[in-house]
Each structure stands twice: as structure tokens, then as C-alpha cells.
Structure 1
Amino acid sequence: MQDDRITLTPEEQAARRRRSVAIGVFLVALVVIFYVVTLAKIGG
């Protein structure tokens, strides 16, 4: 049975890491925005 895994170059691994970090930052920012909007609606 042959190994069908794809081997990424260091550049591709770095790009994947940057993309993952960017998605994580975006999701955290979205959660913070929803939280602030919710507090504003409840408080106002």
C-alpha cells in the first residue's frame, strides 16, 4: 500500500499557518462584535 499523503513545502506550511491564524483572528473579532452589539441592545 502506497502512502498517498501530500508533503507540503515549508512555504506552503507557512502560508497554511498564516491562513489559519487569520481565520482565527477573524472569528474572535466576530465574536467580540456580536458580544458588544448584544450588550448594547440589552443595555440600551
Structure 2
Amino acid sequence: MVMRVEHEVHQRRKGRNFGILGVLLAFILIVFGVTVAKIQTGGFSEGFDHVARPGMLPVEEESQ
């Protein structure tokens, strides 16, 4: 079996690839964390689609 030594360029590329992997994973975790936080606090509510909904109108008292 022939043992091959990895070239220096490949070692540097591997290091850069792991760095990019780390940055992408950090970005995914940040987006996921913000999404979970907004769902838990009720940040996603009605009205983002710019449509008037009866549930969002103020309640009017009936006058007799």
C-alpha cells in the first residue's frame, strides 16, 4: 500500500472549508434562535399581510 502525503495546498483548503462550515453553522443557529425566540414571545402575529382582519379591530360597545 502506497502512503501519499497530502499537499500543502490541500491542507490549507481543508482549513478554509472548515472555517466556512463554522460560519455557515453559526448563521443557521442565529436564524434558528431568532425564529424560536419570536415564536415563544408571540412576535409572529396577524397583520403582516396588510389585510384588515376582524380579530384586529377594536371592540365597539353596543349602544341601545
TM range (shorter): 0.7 to 0.9
Using CA pairs below 8 Å that are at least 6 residues apart, which structure has the higher relative contact order? 2
State the alpha-carbon separation in 2 of the partners of residues 10 and 37 from structure 1: 41
Moved segments of 4+, more than 3 Å: none
Per the normalisation by structure 1, the TM-score is 0.72
Q: CA RMSD in A?
A: 1.3
Q: Runs of 5+ in structure 1 lacking a partner?
A: 1-8
1:41 and 2:45 are equivalent in the alignment:
no
Q: Provide the aligned length of Structure 1 versus Structure 2.
A: 36
Identity of aligned residues (%): 33
* TM-score, structure 2 as length reference: 0.52
- Larger fraction in helix: 1
C-alpha displacement of 1:22: 0.5
Question: What is the alpha-carbon distance in structure 2 between the residues aligned to residue 29 and residue 10 of structure 1?
Answer: 29
